[in-house]
Amino acid sequence: MKDNEFRDWSSKAAEWGADYRARLRDLPVRAQTKPGDIAAQLEPSPPEAGQPMEAIFADFERIVVPGMTHWQHPRFFAYFPANAAPASVVAEYLVTAMAAQCMLWQTSPAATEMETRVVDWLRQALGLPNRFTGVIQDSASSATLNAVLVMRERALGWKGNIDGLPGQPKLRIYCSGEVHTSIDRAIWVSGIGQDNLVRIPVQGEKRSMDVGALDAAIRSDRDAGYLPAGIIASVGGTSVGGTDDVAGVVEVARRHGLYVHVDAAWAGSAMICPEFRHLWAGVDGADSVVFNPHKWLGAQFDCSVQFIANPGELVRTLAIQPEFLKTHGADGIINYSEWSVPLGRRFRALKLWFLLRAYGLEHLRGMIRNHVAWSRKVASRLAAEPGFEIVTPPMLSLFSFRHLPAAGSDSDAHNYELVRRINDDGRIYLTQTRVDGKVAIRFQAGQFDMREEDADTAFEVIRGIAAELSG
């Protein structure tokens, strides 16, 4: 591709992106294709000769776009959001064009120094104390793996990386059943093993870890010869928003000398609003915290921030410094590749810098407050409708509900069918979960361009299709 062609196609791609955002409301939220539809339109072998960009772009529009679920759609109420505010998208254009490898300070000083500054901006915005510093990871899964590796090394006296795990005491990590499955994967990848992830029962409306049972489990494991290493607390769990008593968890951890990691991947963004910070009261005493600006705050995926009270422990766990990665002639610099498992790093800080400057905290607070209010409105309207029950009350902008089938009918099958029909309809997108073993339907408001009318549409779609299903 010649320089002038690059300019023309870059402009066309940007124009397409703007047009795409403008017409999202007219598209079904979830892809309406069947399995195999897209693959059937793709050539089975790679081309031997280059093809014209006109043909490639036309095929993109004809083949790819119909097979995409539109995560930026204002009526995307499934999973958690993966927002990409326009200012963040513009920043990603620039990052892609420069294509820098930002693993070390010397490989892109601006990337390192901006990361340090914007992560501290976020620390201040969330009301976290200055005992925390931070790093941008690709996802909360990576941040949690980092935390688990530090738990492992600290508990083993920093011998796990050197000696390996055979012959070492069996470690124990503690969490509730409401945590994300990324915690399970971190336990697998770290070599600790699934059987050593201890699930503590939950209690109350917030589905919080029972801190008394947590303390008892740690004591029992010690007596049985296990080596407790750390606790993972949840704030806004993926299923229905399960939220632990962080202060209580930290108190138990300090009593036993354990590391505490707080997973607030989704809900952490809401802590820019002071009135929501009671949900993670006690977070000041944690060893690490993760939240994803690429969920609710508006940063383009991928962008997860891990705050750490003692970064020296993380560096001690992960850093490898061969001669070819050393920066000579400069002291006191940070090489963020030593704070994460991958060596390679993208310039993720730029989109945060653009985002925070373009919208400002007050605009972002207003967005989150609206999402919480609109979700609660949908919940209260459904609760007032015959045949509906609210299974778990709103945790910020997430709640779950169930539609009651005719007497004698299978509730799980009925609600699965309701979700299927809603999503096939295309106007909104929802997902299901299980609460105490029974199927429930999740509703989560969080899309960057959502308006109150979108919440009203969601209520009407849910009510209307449930009525059709009931006959």
Burial class (CB in 10 A: 0-12, 13-18, 19+), 63: middle
Burial (CB < 10 A; 0-12, 13-18, 19+), residue 384, is exposed
Cis? peptide before 302, omega within 30° of 0:
yes
CA–CA dist 10, 14 (Å, integer): 6
Model confidence at 280: pLDDT above 60: yes
What's the pTM value of the predicted model, to 2 decimals? 0.90
Can you give the pLDDT at residue 334? 83
Q: Which residue has the tokens 């632990």?
A: 244
Q: What average pLDDT does range 113-130 have in this prediction?
A: 94
pLDDT at 319: 82
Rounded alpha-carbon distances, angstroms, from residue 358 to 75, 144, 263, 283? 24, 30, 27, 29
Question: Which domains can be identified in the chain, with CATH numbers?
Answer: 101-346 (3.40.640.10), 361-470 (3.90.1150.170)
Across the strands, what pairs with 176?
200
Q: List Cβ neighbours of 292 (8 Å cut-off, separation of 6 or more).
A: 139, 140, 265, 266, 268, 269, 303, 304, 305
Report pLDDT digits (tens) over 409-456: 889 999 999 999 999 999 999 999 999 999 999 999 999 999 999 999
pLDDT (tens digit, 9 = 90+) per residue, 178-206? Answer: 888 888 889 998 889 999 999 999 988 89
pLDDT greater than 80 at residue 259: yes
Q: Which residues contact 102 (CB under 8 A, 6 or more apart)?
A: 108, 111, 112, 336, 345, 346, 347
User: Taking the CB of residue 242, how many other CB atoms lie within 10 A of it?
Assistant: 22
